[in-house]
Amino acid sequence: MNQEKIITATIAFVKEELKNAEGGHDWFHIERVFKNAILISKEEKVDVFIVSLAALLHDIADPKFHNGDESIGPKITTEFLEKQHVKTTTIKHVVDIINNISFKNSFEKKQVQFKSKELEVVQDADRLDAIGAIGIARCFNYGGFKNRALYNPEIIPNLNMTKEEYKNSNAPTINHFYEKLLLLKDKMNTASGKKIATERHLFMETFLKQFYEEWNGVK
């Protein structure tokens, strides 16, 4: 099967797998990440086929919707790509990207960490969808999904979390801006990613300023 047909088959597979997913982690999230990844790839020397597959499959089984199990996504990905007769080396690269893309992994100080330009591109594309207007919408959508408070001035953001604390946090949604979203601009890997992230970061800062003014009755 040629690469174009494999991409088409992967899109159909992901759409079906995520048809009942939470609104911030559904097919449309995948589609935006895929488009961002292709856009960034135009400025980077990468294997676009690997980037495409990893972008499409990176959230096929997000651990936070599977009791924290980080092995399900790579397993589903491997089985699907094997059925598409994708090369073993390509499958391994895609799975390595999926295993290393998540923000929560930045809490771990690994001795040997997987690195590739393809990972950098897909990671930037995924992080871009976590910031800006859509990032704000996704953040509050997930907060509502988990029945979290919008904001509680008495619960301050935890800026020194471990990976387990991050995974198990039930803090108000506004805290997530300080614990993750506002940190992403400076964690971008590519020049294209940094440029887009800067604009989206400013939008979030404007939103937060307006939010606090409304909360405190200033506006």
Q: Which tens digit of pLDDT belongs to each residue from 50-92?
A: 999 999 999 987 666 666 667 788 999 999 999 999 999 999 9
Q: What is the pLDDT of residues 6-15, one digit of tens each?
A: 999 999 999 9
Residue type at 80?
A: F
User: Please, which residues have CB within 8 angstroms of residue 91's CB and are 6 or more apart in sequence?
Assistant: 77, 78, 81, 82
pLDDT digits (tens, 9 = 90+) for 118-157: 999 999 999 999 999 999 999 999 999 989 999 999 999 9
Q: What's the pLDDT band for 112 if we cut at 50, 70, 90?
A: low
Q: Indicate the domain borders of the chain.
A: 3-215
Stretch (H or E) spanning 31: helix 27-41
Q: Is the pLDDT of residue 163 over 70?
A: yes
Average pLDDT over residues 101-108: 69
Fold assignment, 3-215: Hypothetical protein af1432 (1.10.3210)
